[in-house]
Structure 1
Protein backbone atom coordinates (compact mmCIF):
# COMPACT_ATOMS: atom_id res chain seq x y z
CA UNK A 1 0.00 0.00 0.00
CA UNK A 2 1.18 3.48 -0.86
CA UNK A 3 0.08 6.41 1.25
CA UNK A 4 0.61 10.14 1.63
CA UNK A 5 2.91 10.57 4.63
CA UNK A 6 2.60 14.25 5.50
CA UNK A 7 0.58 17.44 5.10
CA UNK A 8 -3.08 18.02 4.26
CA UNK A 9 -3.65 14.58 2.70
CA UNK A 10 -1.63 12.65 5.29
CA UNK A 11 -2.78 9.04 5.62
CA UNK A 12 -4.66 8.87 2.31
CA UNK A 13 -3.91 5.73 0.35
CA UNK A 14 -2.90 6.03 -3.29
CA UNK A 15 -3.70 3.60 -6.07
CA UNK A 16 -0.87 1.51 -7.51
CA UNK A 17 -1.17 -0.45 -10.77
CA UNK A 18 -1.78 -4.15 -10.16
CA UNK A 19 0.74 -6.56 -11.60
CA UNK A 20 2.85 -3.66 -12.77
CA UNK A 21 6.60 -3.50 -12.65
CA UNK A 22 6.33 0.05 -11.35
CA UNK A 23 8.63 0.84 -8.43
CA UNK A 24 7.07 3.68 -6.45
CA UNK A 25 9.42 5.64 -4.22
CA UNK A 26 9.15 3.99 -0.80
CA UNK A 27 7.57 5.83 2.13
CA UNK A 28 10.97 5.97 3.84
CA UNK A 29 12.74 7.54 0.84
CA UNK A 30 9.83 9.92 0.14
CA UNK A 31 9.78 11.04 3.78
CA UNK A 32 13.55 11.56 3.64
CA UNK A 33 13.18 13.53 0.40
CA UNK A 34 10.81 15.94 2.12
CA UNK A 35 13.14 16.20 5.11
CA UNK A 36 16.09 17.08 2.85
CA UNK A 37 14.14 19.95 1.31
CA UNK A 38 13.42 22.49 4.04
CA UNK A 39 9.64 22.39 4.77
CA UNK A 40 9.41 26.17 4.50
CA UNK A 41 10.87 25.93 0.99
CA UNK A 42 8.04 23.74 -0.36
CA UNK A 43 5.17 26.04 0.62
CA UNK A 44 3.81 27.81 -2.48
CA UNK A 45 6.44 26.34 -4.81
CA UNK A 46 6.24 24.67 -8.23
CA UNK A 47 7.25 20.98 -8.42
CA UNK A 48 8.02 18.85 -11.49
CA UNK A 49 7.97 15.05 -11.27
CA UNK A 50 9.58 13.19 -14.19
CA UNK A 51 8.85 9.47 -14.65
CA UNK A 52 5.92 10.08 -12.31
CA UNK A 53 4.58 6.51 -12.03
CA UNK A 54 1.81 6.81 -9.41
CA UNK A 55 2.52 10.50 -8.80
CA UNK A 56 3.30 9.85 -5.14
CA UNK A 57 6.18 12.35 -4.84
CA UNK A 58 4.27 15.17 -6.52
CA UNK A 59 1.13 14.44 -4.50
CA UNK A 60 3.27 14.50 -1.36
CA UNK A 61 4.57 17.93 -2.44
CA UNK A 62 0.99 19.20 -2.93
CA UNK A 63 0.00 17.78 0.45
CA UNK A 64 2.87 19.73 2.02
CA UNK A 65 1.88 23.02 0.40
CA UNK A 66 3.34 23.15 -3.12
CA UNK A 67 1.23 25.44 -5.31
CA UNK A 68 1.47 23.40 -8.51
CA UNK A 69 2.85 20.06 -9.72
CA UNK A 70 3.51 18.95 -13.28
CA UNK A 71 3.70 15.17 -13.71
CA UNK A 72 5.32 13.59 -16.77
CA UNK A 73 4.78 9.89 -17.35
CA UNK A 74 4.88 7.89 -20.59
CA UNK A 75 2.58 5.01 -19.59
CA UNK A 76 -1.06 5.92 -20.30
CA UNK A 77 -2.35 3.57 -17.59
CA UNK A 78 -0.10 5.24 -15.03
CA UNK A 79 -1.23 8.69 -16.22
CA UNK A 80 -4.83 7.65 -15.60
CA UNK A 81 -3.83 6.46 -12.13
CA UNK A 82 -2.13 9.80 -11.38
CA UNK A 83 -5.42 11.55 -12.22
CA UNK A 84 -7.27 9.13 -9.92
CA UNK A 85 -4.77 9.71 -7.11
CA UNK A 86 -5.04 13.49 -7.54
CA UNK A 87 -8.82 13.13 -7.33
CA UNK A 88 -8.56 10.99 -4.17
CA UNK A 89 -6.56 13.77 -2.51
CA UNK A 90 -8.57 16.72 -3.95
CA UNK A 91 -5.52 18.12 -5.79
CA UNK A 92 -6.74 18.05 -9.42
CA UNK A 93 -6.87 21.86 -9.67
CA UNK A 94 -3.23 22.21 -8.65
CA UNK A 95 -1.73 19.74 -11.10
CA UNK A 96 -1.03 19.04 -14.74
CA UNK A 97 -0.42 15.52 -16.06
CA UNK A 98 1.48 15.18 -19.32
CA UNK A 99 1.38 11.67 -20.75
CA UNK A 100 4.49 11.62 -22.93
CA UNK A 101 8.00 10.25 -23.24
CA UNK A 102 10.11 12.14 -20.70
CA UNK A 103 13.15 12.74 -22.91
CA UNK A 104 11.02 13.96 -25.83
CA UNK A 105 8.93 16.14 -23.52
CA UNK A 106 12.07 17.88 -22.28
CA UNK A 107 12.59 19.20 -25.81
CA UNK A 108 8.92 19.91 -26.49
CA UNK A 109 6.99 21.16 -23.44
CA UNK A 110 9.31 23.34 -21.41
CA UNK A 111 10.21 26.17 -23.77
CA UNK A 112 7.00 28.03 -22.87
CA UNK A 113 6.47 26.78 -19.29
CA UNK A 114 7.11 28.86 -16.21
CA UNK A 115 10.00 27.55 -14.15
CA UNK A 116 10.09 25.13 -11.25
CA UNK A 117 11.49 25.26 -7.75
CA UNK A 118 11.89 21.50 -7.31
CA UNK A 119 12.48 18.89 -10.01
CA UNK A 120 12.31 15.22 -9.01
CA UNK A 121 13.58 12.60 -11.48
CA UNK A 122 12.79 8.95 -10.77
CA UNK A 123 13.46 6.85 -13.88
CA UNK A 124 13.15 3.07 -13.92
CA UNK A 125 16.32 1.57 -12.46
CA UNK A 126 17.07 -0.09 -15.81
CA UNK A 127 16.61 3.15 -17.81
CA UNK A 128 19.33 3.02 -20.48
CA UNK A 129 19.78 6.78 -20.99
CA UNK A 130 20.15 7.90 -17.38
CA UNK A 131 23.54 9.57 -18.07
CA UNK A 132 21.93 12.20 -20.30
CA UNK A 133 18.99 12.94 -17.98
CA UNK A 134 20.59 15.46 -15.60
CA UNK A 135 22.27 17.57 -18.31
CA UNK A 136 19.12 17.48 -20.45
CA UNK A 137 16.86 18.50 -17.55
CA UNK A 138 19.20 21.27 -16.36
CA UNK A 139 19.44 22.63 -19.91
CA UNK A 140 15.77 22.40 -20.95
CA UNK A 141 13.81 23.04 -17.74
CA UNK A 142 13.88 26.45 -16.10
CA UNK A 143 14.77 25.87 -12.46
CA UNK A 144 14.60 28.93 -10.25
CA UNK A 145 17.63 30.18 -8.31
CA UNK A 146 18.18 28.08 -5.18
CA UNK A 147 15.84 25.41 -6.56
CA UNK A 148 16.43 21.69 -6.12
CA UNK A 149 17.18 19.04 -8.76
CA UNK A 150 16.79 15.57 -7.24
CA UNK A 151 17.68 12.32 -8.97
CA UNK A 152 16.58 8.97 -7.48
CA UNK A 153 18.70 6.06 -8.64
CA UNK A 154 20.19 2.70 -7.68
CA UNK A 155 22.89 3.04 -5.04
CA UNK A 156 25.28 0.95 -7.12
CA UNK A 157 25.15 3.61 -9.86
CA UNK A 158 27.55 6.44 -9.10
CA UNK A 159 26.32 9.86 -10.22
CA UNK A 160 29.28 12.23 -10.47
CA UNK A 161 27.81 14.64 -12.97
CA UNK A 162 28.77 18.29 -12.66
CA UNK A 163 25.97 20.54 -13.82
CA UNK A 164 26.54 24.14 -14.83
CA UNK A 165 24.97 26.62 -12.37
CA UNK A 166 24.28 23.85 -9.81
CA UNK A 167 26.16 22.64 -6.76
CA UNK A 168 25.96 19.17 -5.25
CA UNK A 169 23.77 19.54 -2.15
CA UNK A 170 24.23 15.94 -1.01
CA UNK A 171 23.92 12.22 -1.65
CA UNK A 172 21.55 10.32 0.60
CA UNK A 173 21.67 6.52 0.61
CA UNK A 174 18.75 4.33 1.69
CA UNK A 175 19.70 0.70 1.05
CA UNK A 176 19.66 0.15 -2.71
CA UNK A 177 18.22 3.64 -3.38
CA UNK A 178 20.17 6.90 -3.48
CA UNK A 179 18.92 10.47 -3.80
CA UNK A 180 21.51 12.70 -5.47
CA UNK A 181 20.49 16.29 -4.78
CA UNK A 182 21.68 19.44 -6.56
CA UNK A 183 20.89 23.05 -5.70
CA UNK A 184 20.67 25.79 -8.30
CA UNK A 185 23.08 28.64 -7.72
CA UNK A 186 21.99 32.23 -8.03
CA UNK A 187 22.84 33.19 -11.59
CA UNK A 188 24.22 36.71 -11.86
Structure 2
Protein backbone atom coordinates (compact mmCIF):
# COMPACT_ATOMS: atom_id res chain seq x y z
CA UNK A 1 0.00 0.00 0.00
CA UNK A 2 1.28 3.43 -0.88
CA UNK A 3 0.24 7.04 -1.41
CA UNK A 4 -0.64 7.21 -5.09
CA UNK A 5 -0.38 10.90 -5.92
CA UNK A 6 0.26 14.39 -4.60
CA UNK A 7 2.80 15.71 -2.09
CA UNK A 8 3.38 12.33 -0.38
CA UNK A 9 3.35 10.32 -3.60
CA UNK A 10 5.11 6.96 -3.39
CA UNK A 11 5.32 6.84 0.42
CA UNK A 12 4.67 3.32 1.69
CA UNK A 13 1.83 2.86 4.20
CA UNK A 14 1.65 0.15 6.86
CA UNK A 15 -1.28 -2.23 7.10
CA UNK A 16 -3.07 -2.94 10.38
CA UNK A 17 -1.86 -6.30 11.81
CA UNK A 18 -4.34 -9.19 11.73
CA UNK A 19 -7.39 -9.84 9.57
CA UNK A 20 -9.80 -7.39 11.19
CA UNK A 21 -9.10 -4.50 8.80
CA UNK A 22 -9.61 -4.61 5.04
CA UNK A 23 -7.66 -1.73 3.51
CA UNK A 24 -8.86 -0.20 0.25
CA UNK A 25 -6.60 -1.56 -2.51
CA UNK A 26 -4.44 0.88 -4.47
CA UNK A 27 -6.48 0.09 -7.60
CA UNK A 28 -9.79 0.97 -5.93
CA UNK A 29 -8.22 4.02 -4.26
CA UNK A 30 -6.94 5.32 -7.61
CA UNK A 31 -10.35 4.83 -9.24
CA UNK A 32 -12.10 6.44 -6.29
CA UNK A 33 -9.96 9.59 -6.39
CA UNK A 34 -10.39 9.92 -10.13
CA UNK A 35 -14.16 10.01 -9.41
CA UNK A 36 -14.03 12.70 -6.71
CA UNK A 37 -10.97 14.81 -7.45
CA UNK A 38 -8.46 13.91 -8.36
CA UNK A 39 -6.93 16.96 -6.62
CA UNK A 40 -8.32 19.39 -4.06
CA UNK A 41 -7.93 23.07 -3.37
CA UNK A 42 -8.02 22.93 0.43
CA UNK A 43 -10.86 21.82 2.69
CA UNK A 44 -11.42 19.42 5.59
CA UNK A 45 -11.75 15.64 5.35
CA UNK A 46 -13.18 13.10 7.82
CA UNK A 47 -12.00 9.47 7.63
CA UNK A 48 -14.50 7.90 10.03
CA UNK A 49 -13.54 4.21 9.94
CA UNK A 50 -9.91 5.06 9.33
CA UNK A 51 -8.28 1.61 9.44
CA UNK A 52 -4.81 2.41 8.04
CA UNK A 53 -5.78 6.04 7.33
CA UNK A 54 -5.00 5.45 3.65
CA UNK A 55 -7.99 7.35 2.24
CA UNK A 56 -7.63 10.44 4.44
CA UNK A 57 -3.85 10.49 3.88
CA UNK A 58 -4.38 10.30 0.11
CA UNK A 59 -6.81 13.24 0.33
CA UNK A 60 -4.26 15.30 2.32
CA UNK A 61 -1.53 14.41 -0.18
CA UNK A 62 -3.82 15.62 -2.99
CA UNK A 63 -4.48 19.03 -1.47
CA UNK A 64 -6.93 18.90 1.44
CA UNK A 65 -5.88 21.22 4.31
CA UNK A 66 -6.70 19.06 7.32
CA UNK A 67 -8.09 15.68 8.26
CA UNK A 68 -9.75 13.98 11.22
CA UNK A 69 -9.18 10.23 11.53
CA UNK A 70 -11.43 8.10 13.78
CA UNK A 71 -11.23 4.40 14.54
CA UNK A 72 -12.32 2.22 17.44
CA UNK A 73 -9.29 -0.10 17.41
CA UNK A 74 -6.04 0.78 19.19
CA UNK A 75 -4.05 -1.06 16.51
CA UNK A 76 -5.61 1.10 13.80
CA UNK A 77 -4.93 4.32 15.69
CA UNK A 78 -1.25 3.37 16.05
CA UNK A 79 -1.00 2.54 12.34
CA UNK A 80 -2.74 5.79 11.30
CA UNK A 81 -0.27 7.81 13.40
CA UNK A 82 2.67 5.88 11.93
CA UNK A 83 1.38 6.34 8.35
CA UNK A 84 0.81 10.07 8.85
CA UNK A 85 4.39 10.38 10.07
CA UNK A 86 5.71 8.36 7.09
CA UNK A 87 3.78 10.65 4.72
CA UNK A 88 5.00 13.80 6.53
CA UNK A 89 1.40 14.90 7.15
CA UNK A 90 0.96 14.59 10.93
CA UNK A 91 0.75 18.38 11.37
CA UNK A 92 -2.42 18.42 9.25
CA UNK A 93 -4.22 15.64 11.11
CA UNK A 94 -6.11 14.82 14.30
CA UNK A 95 -6.49 11.16 15.28
CA UNK A 96 -9.12 9.87 17.73
CA UNK A 97 -9.96 6.46 19.15
CA UNK A 98 -13.73 6.46 19.31
CA UNK A 99 -16.93 4.81 18.16
CA UNK A 100 -18.29 6.44 14.97
CA UNK A 101 -21.50 7.87 16.46
CA UNK A 102 -19.82 9.21 19.60
CA UNK A 103 -17.10 10.75 17.45
CA UNK A 104 -19.70 12.57 15.34
CA UNK A 105 -21.33 14.03 18.46
CA UNK A 106 -17.93 15.15 19.80
CA UNK A 107 -17.07 16.80 16.47
CA UNK A 108 -20.45 18.58 16.41
CA UNK A 109 -19.70 20.11 19.83
CA UNK A 110 -16.56 21.62 18.30
CA UNK A 111 -18.66 22.91 15.36
CA UNK A 112 -16.49 20.99 12.89
CA UNK A 113 -17.70 20.78 9.29
CA UNK A 114 -16.32 18.71 6.44
CA UNK A 115 -16.03 19.02 2.67
CA UNK A 116 -15.20 15.34 2.15
CA UNK A 117 -16.09 12.25 4.21
CA UNK A 118 -14.89 8.66 3.80
CA UNK A 119 -17.11 5.92 5.20
CA UNK A 120 -15.46 2.53 4.79
CA UNK A 121 -16.75 0.47 7.74
CA UNK A 122 -16.37 -3.28 8.16
CA UNK A 123 -18.62 -4.88 5.54
CA UNK A 124 -20.86 -6.40 8.24
CA UNK A 125 -22.03 -2.87 9.14
CA UNK A 126 -24.89 -1.80 6.90
CA UNK A 127 -25.97 1.48 8.53
CA UNK A 128 -23.87 4.06 6.70
CA UNK A 129 -27.01 5.86 5.49
CA UNK A 130 -28.03 6.39 9.15
CA UNK A 131 -24.60 7.82 9.94
CA UNK A 132 -24.97 10.22 7.01
CA UNK A 133 -28.36 11.35 8.34
CA UNK A 134 -26.72 11.89 11.74
CA UNK A 135 -24.04 14.07 10.09
CA UNK A 136 -26.78 16.12 8.44
CA UNK A 137 -28.71 16.61 11.71
CA UNK A 138 -25.49 17.56 13.56
CA UNK A 139 -24.55 20.06 10.81
CA UNK A 140 -21.19 18.36 10.21
CA UNK A 141 -21.29 18.74 6.42
CA UNK A 142 -20.52 21.80 4.35
CA UNK A 143 -22.90 22.58 1.45
CA UNK A 144 -22.06 20.40 -1.58
CA UNK A 145 -19.89 18.08 0.57
CA UNK A 146 -18.84 14.77 -0.98
CA UNK A 147 -19.41 11.53 0.92
CA UNK A 148 -17.65 8.38 -0.30
CA UNK A 149 -19.07 5.04 0.88
CA UNK A 150 -17.25 1.74 0.37
CA UNK A 151 -19.24 -1.44 1.04
CA UNK A 152 -19.87 -5.05 0.05
CA UNK A 153 -20.90 -5.12 -3.64
CA UNK A 154 -23.72 -7.59 -2.86
CA UNK A 155 -25.42 -4.84 -0.82
CA UNK A 156 -27.28 -1.77 -2.12
CA UNK A 157 -27.68 1.67 -0.56
CA UNK A 158 -30.48 3.96 -1.85
CA UNK A 159 -29.72 6.28 -4.81
CA UNK A 160 -30.94 9.22 -2.79
CA UNK A 161 -32.33 9.90 0.67
CA UNK A 162 -32.85 13.16 2.52
CA UNK A 163 -30.30 15.69 1.26
CA UNK A 164 -28.00 12.98 -0.15
CA UNK A 165 -27.88 12.14 -3.84
CA UNK A 166 -25.70 9.42 -5.36
CA UNK A 167 -23.69 10.90 -8.22
CA UNK A 168 -21.31 8.02 -9.01
CA UNK A 169 -21.20 4.30 -8.34
CA UNK A 170 -18.72 1.60 -9.29
CA UNK A 171 -18.04 -2.03 -8.41
CA UNK A 172 -14.61 -3.63 -8.11
CA UNK A 173 -15.06 -7.34 -7.37
CA UNK A 174 -16.47 -7.63 -3.86
CA UNK A 175 -16.07 -3.89 -3.18
CA UNK A 176 -18.57 -1.25 -4.28
CA UNK A 177 -18.08 2.52 -4.05
CA UNK A 178 -20.88 5.08 -4.01
CA UNK A 179 -20.22 8.82 -4.13
CA UNK A 180 -22.94 11.04 -2.66
CA UNK A 181 -23.38 14.78 -2.93
CA UNK A 182 -24.80 16.64 0.05
CA UNK A 183 -27.49 18.97 -1.24
CA UNK A 184 -28.25 21.05 1.81
CA UNK A 185 -31.94 21.86 2.10
CA UNK A 186 -32.81 25.54 2.16
CA UNK A 187 -34.91 26.20 5.25
CA UNK A 188 -38.17 27.80 4.18
CA UNK A 189 -38.91 31.18 5.73
CA UNK A 190 -41.47 31.10 8.54
CA UNK A 191 -44.55 33.15 7.72
CA UNK A 192 -45.80 35.42 10.47
CA UNK A 193 -49.38 34.65 11.54
CA UNK A 194 -51.99 36.95 10.08
CA UNK A 195 -49.83 38.00 7.13
CA UNK A 196 -50.74 37.02 3.60
CA UNK A 197 -48.11 36.31 0.95
2:45 is the counterpart of 1:50: no
Task: State the match for 1:185 in structure 2.
Answer: 183
Deviates more, 1:79-88 or 1:153-162: 153-162
Question: What CA distance in whole angstroms lies between the structure 2 residues aligned with 1:140 and 1:174?
Answer: 32
Task: State the match for 1:82 in structure 2.
Answer: 80
Deviation at 1:50, TM superposition (A): 0.9
Residue 153 of structure 2: which of 152, 155, 167 is its match?
155
2:144 is the counterpart of 1:146: yes
Deviation at 1:130, TM superposition (A): 4.3
Deviates more, 1:55-64 or 1:161-170: 161-170
Question: What CA distance in whole angstroms lies between the structure 1 residues aligned with 2:87 and 2:12?
Answer: 9
Are the aligned partners of 2:151 and 2:175 in contact in 1 as well (CA < 8 Å)?
A: yes
Question: What CA distance in whole angstroms lies between the structure 2 residues aligned with 1:148 and 1:6?
Answer: 19
Deviation by residue 1:132-185 (Cα, 9 ceiling, x = unmatched): 333223333521111101111011001116332222212111111111111122
Higher Rg of the two aligned structures: 2
- Within 5 Å, which residues of 2 pair with 1:48-127? 48-127=46-125
Deviation at 1:61, TM superposition (A): 0.5
Question: What CA distance in whole angstroms lies between the structure 2 residues aligned with 1:131 and 1:39?
Answer: 24
Q: Secondary structure at the match of 1:81?
A: helix
- Within 5 Å, which residues of 2 pair with 1:11-22? 11-22=10-21
Deviation by residue 1:1-39 (Cα, 9 ceiling, x = unmatched): x11111111111111123232100111111111111133
Deviation at 1:131, TM superposition (A): 5.3
Task: State the match for 1:35 in structure 2.
Answer: 34
The count of aligned residue pairs is 186
Compute the TM-score of the two structures, normalised by the length of structure 1. 0.91
Are the aligned partners of 1:145 and 1:187 in contact in 2 as well (CA < 8 Å)?
A: no
